[in-house]
Structure 1
Amino acid sequence: MVAGVQIHSQEAQKAQAEILTEGALRFIAALHRTFESTRQSLLVARETVQLRLDAGARLDFPAETAHIRADPSWLCAPPAPGLEDRRVEITGPTDRKMVINALNSGTKTFMADFEDANSPTFANMLNGQVNLRDAIRRQIDFESGGKAYKLVEKPAVLIVRPRGWHLDEPRVTVDNSPVSASIFDFALYFFHNAKELIARGSGPYFYLPKMEHYLEARLWNDIFNFSQSYIGIPTGTVRGTVLIETLPAAFQMEEILFELRQHSSGLNCGRWDYIFSFIKRRRADRTAVLPDRKDVTMETTFMDSYVRLLIQTCHRRKVAAMGGMSAQIPIKNDPQANEIAMKKVRDDKLREVTNGHDGTWIAHPLINKIAMDVFNEYMLGPNQVCVSLQFRMRTELILHQQYHVRREDVRVAAADLLNTNIPGKVTSEGVRGNVATSLAYSAAWLGGNGCIPLNHLMEDAATAEITRIQLWQWVKYGIRISDTGELITADLIDRLIDEAVPTLTSALVKAQNLEIVARYLKNQVRQAWPSEFLTSDLMPYLAIADGCPPQWQRSVL
């Protein structure tokens, strides 16, 4: 329909008339032709940074932007309609049932995820866009299994997370080049829904993942400006919350906010991806070897420092400092185990609100009350950015003051963000757990499921990445298992994989996909350096299944 644009999937025929319209494809083509070269140069810059780190360089706050950090006068835009109070946000994929349940959950917002909680089959990507379009227009109601699913009168505010800059969408090419997955996801949602959202008193709001440099935030800001002009809406209507989930980005929080200041709605502590990035970017540093992932808690120095710095930065610039995800989910038929799990959630949310966060994430609607109760008790106003005497007050002013934690006291040095003095060990349980989680999640992802419950935890691509890269790191540096004394080698991981595979088959985890990811994981622990993302490595399987020819994929297994 549009010159230079090709769709390489039979799946598109079902949704093309609704979502891949001529107008939407023209918009995607315009964004691609304007910004793709910049994206590619920024991805090359990431590789250059990694090579410097491998050679012994240490991350630090950029000298060239010291003036931005030192200048107290600049502030970000005030909260957009519906984003004033974000005390509890639910996240999840974009299938129809999930969208309705999340919007009806009682949370303040719903982050509809095209990224880590999603397996990017073309059907998932297109159907997700259809579902969000219908939800915005209140046309998403349906029946299944004799049960009716219907939106409540005042659903949660919708925020969309597109995929990261590193990913392509190989099933759509412009001028014989795959489009950016970020642009594809953003463009379809924005083009079809921005004006409708504004008419309904909201706006096009986004979560922006996986950035590693403030210039990557500048690229998003340029895309926002271009897009607003393209469809004719006021500048500043789009809002983006940036997930600080890479180690380099932790040193550039002020700069990222500065680049997006006209469109910013804050920063989020993407804790699980942050741990993954911490290991990956310090892959050549033996001192950065981490213990079992259960021991890498939010109280460890490098995690606590990054949280406190994020809260201080956001409140200094008058935007929301959002907390992260508790992985625990409700446990049915075991009240004692459920109480232990829910106490972990409660303690995590209490830590966040008393630290100064303006909101938090949950993965299951039944956890909303726990998170909401904690934030309602400790955050009396809509956020902790500013103290206002108009907020509902308790009996004593001193109590009122403690509910607005701005963290002006924080002093975080570069060394704090790199501190690896973590109590904990590498145990046989931790190694086996990483093997099982990596295999089960990756196999489910190949089967079209982007988030799955495992051992009473909600696992997504971020936690799967931690398990994969920890196995690589332990093999790379010859770590011994604390309780057995056994050396962690590639051959040991092979044996544990072979033992785990027969135990993992389920409705979500198919045997043929387990075979693929078992080979992949065995290969990964033998590499000199780990792959950047397992989702990039495994994407060709999804693309080929969708009918996409291999020549449109940058890496083919």
Structure 2
Amino acid sequence: MTTTLTAGSESTPRPEPRPAGRIEVRGDMHDRFDEILSPAALDFIAELHDRFMNRREEQLVANAERFRAIDAGADPAFPRETASIRRDPTWRVAGAGPGLEDRRIEITGPTDRRSTVEALNSGAKVWLADHEDALSPTWSNVIDGQLNLADAIRRRIDFVSEDGTAHTLGEHTPTIVFRPRGWHLDERHLRYVDAAGRPRPASASLVDYGLYLFHNAHELVSRGAGPYFYLPKLESRHGARLWDDVFSFSERAIGLPHGTIRATVLIETITAAFEMDEILYELRDHCAGLNAGRWDYLFSIIKNYRNRGRSFLLPDRGQMNMTVPFMRAYTELLVATCHKRGAHAIGGMSAFIPNPDDEARTTAALEQVAIDKRREASDGFDGSWVAHPGLIETACAEFDAVLGERPNQLDRLRDDVSVTGSQLIDFRIPDGTVTVAGIRENVSASLRYLDSWLRGTGAVPIDDLLEDVSTAEISRCQLWQWIQQGALTDDGLPVVRERVEWIIDRTLGELPRTGTDRLDDAAELLREMVLGDSFPRFLTLGAYERHLDESRRGVATRAA
């Protein structure tokens, strides 16, 4: 039986007894955590797990099987069994919800208190409030982020900077789109115990999504917006169907009209690129658009083709821009697919951080940002991402030049686009090279990022770029592949374990140390990830379990 709950109301009658699971809190309860981890909210999270936990686990098994198939030589392809969906010109997605019609510039970032206020005062049209790649998923970060979001939505958030200046919200703030963690991640500080008494870590996706929706959906609707989500790491239409079923159940459970929830899907895996139509179709009652998640897309390509020989070796990360042929094919197909179905097409990230101490470097970088956004707007994208408020004016000017007063360019159908499957998996890059500098850059960026991630910061300024988990993923993935395939660098020497290990040790010795750094732990993780024969699909799985999981300390529990 479905129990209707009123989000955020502690006076809601408790659900009738039923054979169902429960959620146990295994993390410390800090100040105000009880507001988020209320009995009614935990009941809702438990009900989500009762209905969808097994399907989530089945989906992860299917993803792993597909991963092994590509590794064995089976290239992804447009599914023959869904050809009728792709050919049918009549169906459309729900499209933008209230407050989401104009997305020309979206700012991304974590949900700590300062970042929340700065994002909401940035002047962007949309804030991607990130509990995925830009979040180090410490227990405190996860629940504090939910508190900050609840406060921000109710306009009761502020912060005081180091110089004593108070920062409050301006009159106009962006529409919030929340990104929960992917299906593959656990939240170990909450334990799901099913109806048979079997305990397992909770799904991070269902926890992040469920807590945000339960506490904020009705408040968002009352303020003229709605509960909107970015969906990460989908690998097929089946993951989209699972999310759509979660949305439909949730709307019934908390009393929302069907279709109130809207989702934008990140196309950031090579397999999802072959199922864009199908993903839109599965989510059509709840879908607003697709996003071109460029760095994770490259990470997905490398890890899926890591063992397929030297012909699949990709060059230095800095050489893989959005104009190389296979990336052009991917983005043009995304725009054409979206606009055919009435969905927003959102472009990729500009991660540059303006440097007030280096005007020439900043000017050159802003010129590159302008070129990147000009290309996206000209290609038909309806909006794009930036990582820093200092990029908004430059990026927005390029979209303004194309859009004018229009909120988007959904009416621009890309009938001129015809992308084949072979174009999507032709990873040749003319004149692409693996360089000694590229090895050093990957090692240095990985060490510095992991050091900050282990200390609780998931969005990290590195060499004038605001980096997130995708930085470490693509860097360590490249190093592993270069070693395994014996890539030759620009000096004619092969990439071997001893060479990379020496660079790791040397870089570790050159980085500045503090009494609180986690560089030694970061180096240990990086060595495990790149020097061994086995390939972990996600570096955050083991790192989270080993370093961020506080539940193993045996803290007190509280059950829903």
Whole-Å separation in 2 of the counterparts to 1:488 and 1:21? 53
Aligned match of 2:88: 71
- Unaligned 5+ segments in structure 1 are 387-403, 553-557
Partner of 2:38: 21
**What does residue range 136-151 of structure 1 map to in structure 2 within 5 Å?**
136-145=153-162, 146-151=164-169
CA-to-partner distance for each residue in 1:60-104, whole Å, 9 max, x for gaps?
001111110000010001321011110000000001111111011
Shift of 1:345: 0.7
What is residue 539 of structure 2 aligned with on the other side? 534
Are positions 1:9 and 2:32 aligned together? no
The CA distance in 2 between the partners of 1:347 and 1:506, in whole Å, is 38
2:57 to 40, 47, 53: 40
Whether contact under 8 Å (1:169, 1:180) holds in the other structure is yes
Counterpart pick for 1:298 among 322, 336, 343: 322
Higher relative contact order (CA 8 A, sep 6+): 2
Whether the aligned pair in 2 keeps the contact of 1:444 and 1:510 (CA below 8 Å) is no
Residue in 1 that maps onto 2:282: 259
Deviation at 1:122, TM superposition (A): 0.6
Q: TM-score, normalised by structure 2?
A: 0.92
Q: Which residue of 2 aligns with 1:280?
A: 303
Partner of residue 403, structure 2: 379
Letter of the 2:236 counterpart: H
Separation in structure 2 between the aligned mates of residue 466 and residue 158 of structure 1, nearest angstrom? 28
TM-fit CA distance, 1:4: 3.1
**What does the per-residue CA deviation read over 1:284-312, in whole Å, with 9 as the maximum and x for residues that have no partner?**
21121100011111111111100000000
For 2:203, the aligned partner's letter is S
The reply on whether 1:320 has 2:344 as its aligned counterpart is yes
Amino acid at match of 1:477: Q
Deviation at 1:173, TM superposition (A): 0.7
Which of 265, 290, 312 in structure 2 is aligned with 1:242?
A: 265
Counterpart-to-counterpart distance in 2, 1:214 and 1:492: 41
CA-CA distance at 1:548 after TM superposition: 4.9
Task: Return the offset for 1:549.
Answer: 5.2
Aligned partner of 1:216 among 233, 239, 244: 239
Q: Deviations over 1:407-441 (max 9, x none)?
A: 11101001100011203211111110000011110
Check the 8 A contact 2:95/2:289 in 1, yes or no.
no
From the superposition, tell whether residues 137 and 506 of structure 1 become closer, same or farther in structure 2 (CA, over 3 Å): farther
Among 513, 517, 522, which residue is 2:522 paired with? 517
The answer for the alignment partner of 2:506 in structure 1 is 499
| CA contact 1:76–1:318 (8 Å) conserved in 2 | yes
3-state DSSP class of the match of 2:160? strand
- 177, 181, 190: which one aligns with 1:163: 181
Q: Distance in 2 between matches of 1:104 and 1:13?
A: 28
SS in structure 1 at match of 2:531: coil
Q: 1:123 aligns with which of 127, 133, 140?
A: 140
Cα RMSD between the aligned structures? 1.7
Distance 1:435 1:29 in 2: 41
How far did residue 545 of structure 1 move? 4.2
Query: In the TM superposition, what is the alpha-carbon distance from 1:481 to its structure 2 partner?
Result: 1.2
Q: Measured at CA, do residues 307 and 63 of structure 1 come closer, stay the same or move farther in structure 2, by a change above 3 Å?
A: same
Alpha-carbon contact 1:164-1:182 (below 8 Å) kept: yes
Q: TM-score of the superposition, structure 1-length normalised?
A: 0.92
Equivalent pair of 2:228/2:263 in contact (CA under 8 Å): yes
C-alpha distance in 1 between matches for 2:534 and 2:78: 25
How far did residue 168 of structure 1 move? 0.5
Q: Does the 8 Å CA contact 2:188/2:549 hold for their aligned counterparts?
A: no
Q: Shift of the alpha carbon at 1:524?
A: 2.0
Alpha-carbon shift at residue 506 of structure 1 (Å): 5.7
Q: Check whether the contact 2:96–2:288 (CA below 8 A) recurs between aligned residues.
A: yes
Residue-by-residue CA offset, 1:160-194 (whole Å, 9 max, x unaligned) = 00000000001101111111100000000000000
Instruction: State how far apart, in whole Å, the 1-side matches of 2:543 and 2:451 are.
Output: 10
**SS in structure 2 at match of 1:14:** coil
Q: Structure 2: where are the runs of 5+ without partners?
A: 1-13, 16-20, 194-198
Determine the structure 2 residue equivalent to 1:420. 427
CA distance in 1, matches of 2:552, 2:144: 17
Per-residue deviation at 1:282?
A: 1.2
Give the residue type in structure 2 aligned to 1:156.
P
CA separation in 2, counterparts of 1:372 and 1:251?
Answer: 30
Matches within 5 A, 1:49-198: 49-145=66-162, 146-175=164-193, 176-198=199-221
